[in-house]
Structures are given as structure tokens and as C-alpha cells.
Amino acid sequence: MKDFKDKIVVITGAGSGMGRAYAMAFAKLGAKLALNDYDAKALDETVRLLPPGMAKRVTSLAFDVADKVAMYGFADQVSATLGKAHVVVNNAGIEGAVQPTWRTSEEDYERIMRINFFGVLHGTKAFLPQLLANREGAIVNVSSIFGLIGTPNSSDYCASKFAVRGFTEALMVELHDSPISVHLVHPGGIATNIARRPEGQAFAKQYLTTPPEDIVEYVIKGIRQKRVKIVYGRDAWRTWLGSNLLPQRWLNAIVSRELKRTYDPSAYNVLR
């Protein structure tokens, strides 16, 4: 898909960060927008910031993407108010517990999987019939560079992003001969507010530096070029190269040494 004028673009997590940047970029390209976020006030702010004349070209609904019923209801709302979707950007996600595995509860693992993985699954399955009915479209699923490598204090987050990666790579094969393109995005350190826990603030300050508008521009170019894997942002290419070229034990040592600079070293001592 190269032209987004009057196409219907669905974006989850549109209340801030990359989601808001996607909304602004697609609006400028003449698309109609279907926007979601868990935070109703943040979502309303995104709608308010859209270019003039968008009132009849946007629909929005605040809900948790982990809620399957709500996602399918949103798909029905989009079809009824704007028409069938052409592009789905499954962008919504949350940070993990920012603790080593032995300090991370099973409830934390379940919570992040419900949002980061099942949110992507629900968004894909709810809107895919609409894309197929249009006989054109694109699905953009957002993983992370932490879906390329395992990192300390992030086993819950990595598990969710590796799940997005595996699901999307399988979907690519299933839709290979269809008019629907599938894109897997691995953002690097993008300047968003995802790191809200105190434990992750040092990491966020040091590594989350790439403007969200930059990766959004790169992703839209990737959709137009039918690029299936899109790796972009702070440390993204270095991580991608390491995940493909370095022996795992070397990669583990490098990542551990680098990220320990921004976390409490005592968290790595399982005996404490």
C-alpha cells in the first residue's frame, strides 16, 4: 500500500508516544483514523491535536486491548462509522516489572502477556476480516529490540515481545500470497513514557532518546516498500546485528554489562 488518502487506519495505544505520532502522521497523509488507548484523557488529547477538519474522519474508543470483547466491539464501531479498515497498527504496550525473574510474580507475567501479546492478537484477528474484505491492507505489529535479545530485569517484557515476533512471523507466511502485507517492527530506544516505574527511570533517561516521529516516518516508508521487518531507533541495528551474528554467551555478557549500568547491581545476586 502506497497511498493512504481516505484509507482507514486503526492505531492502538494512540494516547501518547509512538501511537500519537502514528495518528498525526497518517492524518497528514489524508487517512481516516480509528484510535484506541486505555487512558481516555490522553486519547482525547490526541484527537484534539489532529489537524483541522478531522472531526468526521476519526473515531476513538478508550479500552484495554487485553479485553477481547472490547476489541471486537471497536472493530464493529469502526466499520459502522468509517468503513472497513485498511491498516492496523497494533502499537499498545506496557513496561514489565523491571525485576529479575525470581522477583517477578506470575501475575506480572500474565498481565504483560495479556496486553503486549494478546492485545496484538485481538487487534489482528478483529480487523483482519475487514482488510481481507477490502482486498488490500497492512498489519503492523510492534515488538521491540527486546524481542530480538533477552535482557536482564526484563524476562516478562522480553517474553511478550518475543511472542509478538513469533506470531507475526507466522502470520507473514500465512498471508504471503494475499493482498495483505504484514510488518514486524522492532523499535530501539524510542522517547516515550512507557518506563513509568522508578526502577526503569535511569534506563529510560539514558536509552529512550529517538523521537517517536522518526520511527513512525520510517515505518510508513516500510509499509510502502512492503518491508516485512522494520528495525529502527537507538541501538536497534546494533542489537539486530548482535542477535544474528554473535554467539549467545558473548551476547549475554555484552548486554548484561551494558544494562547493569542503569540498574541496581544487587538485583542480579540471586542469594540476596
pLDDT tens digit sequence for 49-66: 999 989 899 999 999 999
Range in 48-57, 177-186, 218-227, 258-267 with the lowest mean pLDDT: 258-267
CA 125 to chain CA mean position, Å? 16
| pLDDT over 50 (residue 271) | no
Percentage of the chain with pLDDT > 70? Answer: 78
Place of cell 476489541: 71
The confidence score (pLDDT) of residue 213 equals 92
Domain boundaries, given as residue ranges, for the chain: 8-268
pLDDT value at position 188? Answer: 76
In angstroms, the CA 159 to CA 154 distance is: 8
Total-model pTM:
0.85
Band of pLDDT at residue 151, cut at 50, 70 and 90: confident
CA atoms within 13 A on the CB side of 48: 8
* pLDDT at position 135 over 80: yes
Name which CATH class applies to 8-268.
Answer: alpha beta
Question: Can you tell me the mean pLDDT for 145-153?
Answer: 86
Inform me whether the pLDDT recorded for 38 exceeds 60.
Answer: yes
For 204, the 3-state DSSP assignment is: helix
Q: How many CA atoms lie within 13 A of 100 on its CB side?
A: 14
Contacts of residue 205, defined as CB under 8 A and 6 or more positions apart, other chains included, come to none
User: What is the 3 state secondary structure string of 78-129?
Assistant: HHHHCCCCCEEEECCCCCCCCCCHHHCCHHHHHHHHHHHHHHHHHHHHHHHH
The answer to whether 154 and 96 are in contact (CB under 8 A) is yes
β-bridge partners, 89: 11, 140
Average pLDDT, integer, range 175-181: 95
Examine the pLDDT at 245 and tell me if it is beyond 50: no
- The beta-carbon contacts of 41-45 under 8 Å, at least 24 apart in sequence, are 41/15, 42/15, 42/16, 43/14, 43/15, 45/15
Whether pLDDT at 250 is above 50: no
* pLDDT band at residue 121 under the 50/70/90 scheme: very high
At 50, phi and psi to the nearest 5? -65, 155
The answer to whether the Cα torsion of 203, 209, 213, 214 is positive or negative is negative
Please state, rounded to an integer, the average pLDDT across all residues of the chain: 86
Report residue 42 CA to chain centroid gap.
17
pLDDT (tens digit per residue) in 188-232: 766 655 545 555 545 555 565 578 899 999 999 999 999 999 988
Q: Please state, in angstroms and as integers, the Cα–Cα distance from residue 73 to each residue in 92, 114, 123, 126, following that order.
A: 17, 18, 11, 9
Q: Which residue has the higher pLDDT, 201 or 26?
A: 26
**Catalytic residue annotation:** 157
pLDDT of 272: 41
Mean predicted confidence (pLDDT) in 82-108: 96
Distance set, CA 37 to CA 1, 245, 249 (Å)? 25, 37, 39
